[in-house]
Amino acid sequence: MMLALNGDEAVAYAVKQSNVDVIAAFPITPQTIIVEKLSEYVANGELKAYYACAESEHSAISMIVGASAAGARTFTATSANGLALMHEILYIVSSLRLPVVMAIVNRALSGPINIHTDHGDSMAERDACWIQIYCEDAQEAYDTVIQAFRIGENHKVLLPVMVMLDGFLISHTTQNVDVLEDEKVSNFVKHRIPAEIEVFGKKVPLTLNPENEVPLTFGPLDLWDYYFEHKRQQEDAMEKSREVIRKVHDEYAKISGRSYGNGFIETYNMDSAEYAFICLSSTAGTVKSLIDKLISKGDDKLGLVRIRTFRPFPYEELPKALEGVKGVAVLDRSGAFGAMGGPVYNEVRSALYDSDVHPFINGYIYGLGGRDMTMEMLKSIYDDLVETVKSGKPKRKIEFVGVRE
């Protein structure tokens, strides 16, 4: 069924269909529409969940910890400063192995205070051991939220999942979103089935439920003698999530007819490409338009690799996608003060280091605080990249695009 939804509404619609038990949230622009819609769904009985208005994002995610540990399927959403306020608890969520799903409507972090999109907020949490999926548009945000419950709750994974969409550009712009029937989604996500652990020879659901045969302790003190092993297990879960992300993505494609590359990266015009752009989220749409325009003028040498799943990072998929490419422009929508380029740039270079694929790689930081990324700017990046390759000298310097110097 086709509905005219903005990105936030699409997220809320997916949550409504996903048999969620507990929602706790705090309003922040541009996430607000998500929580308003969920409040409306609960109020009119369309969504049979408990919705709590937290008095801060810190308490919102803290409530989610309690609810998820009790065995509930949980959802929350935030942006920018709200996510930063949650920072402490994000690590606790993943270490308690709670399959929480959270939508992040990307917004620039203060300061200065700003409400528009960039990826500084979620990039600051890339090491929190949350699966991170960046969506290009409202349709993908809808599809990905549904997938996220299945991914995080898989017993091989048991990790929280962040689903990112660009503030305002996606959250507040309406597009046609093809939503599945309630029953179809419900059958796909089912209800959360907690994992079981063995205690004193008994299989016990990993929840706070007093009706379990053995009561469990969550969040004990954990020092030098065990902490490291627990962190190692998280890394292991992150690795195991790769297979699950792919399977859930493919299975969802079967019921919806929609897929996003292989679930990790999506490529566009890469067959003939000698040059490639790498970016996340809605900018990919503008890049695709540029590529189409270039093709119409007879230049089919530019392609796109959109990174969809940033955590776990697709370090095996990337070199394959970039085979035969001479130059790559990596677009980062977040700053990296004092580092050798933005986070996407660094990860991409690291992924290619041990491979046989060694194109020129230029890093471009753009769009901070919601600054527009136009076709003209992208074209100038393309020209710059071609020039770098032709000069035969790596740039080794980050360019800032669209900024007054």
Contacts of 344 (CB under 8 A, 6+ apart): 278, 279, 280, 307, 310, 330, 331, 332
Q: 227 or 400: whose CB is closer to other proteins?
A: 227
Q: Which of 6, 368, 11, 15 is nearest to 171 (CA)?
A: 6
Q: How far is CA 58 from the centre of its chain?
A: 20
**Least distance (Å) from other proteins to the CB of residue 22?**
5
- Positions touching other proteins (CB under 8 A) are 21-22, 24, 48-50, 52-56, 58-60, 62-72, 74, 88-89, 92, 191, 207-212, 215-223, 226
Burial 178-202 (b: 16+ CB within 10 A, else e): ebbeeeebeebbeebebeeeeeeee
CB of 241 to other proteins, least distance (A): 23
Which residue, 56 or 350, has its beta carbon nearer to other proteins? Answer: 56
The nearer residue to other proteins, 88 or 323, going by C-beta atoms, is 88
| Closer residue to other proteins, CB minimum distance, 67 or 104 | 67
Closer residue to other proteins in complex, CB, 219/324: 219
Taking the C-alpha atoms of residue 78 and residue 107, their distance in angstroms, rounded to an integer, is 9
Q: What is the enclosing helix (H) or strand (E) of 126?
A: none
Q: What's the longest Cα–Cα distance across the chain?
A: 70
Closest approach, Cβ 236 to other proteins, in A, equals 18
Residue 112 preceded by cis peptide, ω within 30: yes
Distance, CA of 130 to CA of 54 (rounded, Å): 22
Let me know: does 75 contact 101? Beta carbons within 8 Å: yes
**Nearest distance in Å: CB 23, other proteins:** 9
Distance CA 318, CA 355 (A): 10
State in angstroms the smallest separation of the CB of 16 from other proteins.
Answer: 15
Nearer to other proteins, 50 or 315 (CB): 50
User: Which single residue is written with the structure tokens 């606790």?
Assistant: 92
Q: How far is the CB of 6 from other proteins (least distance, A)?
A: 28
Please, are residues 367 and 402 in contact by the beta-carbon 8 Å criterion? yes
- In angstroms, what is the minimal distance from the CB of 270 to other proteins? 45
Closer CB to other proteins, residue 215 or residue 394?
Answer: 215
- CA–CA dist 60, 320 (Å, integer): 41
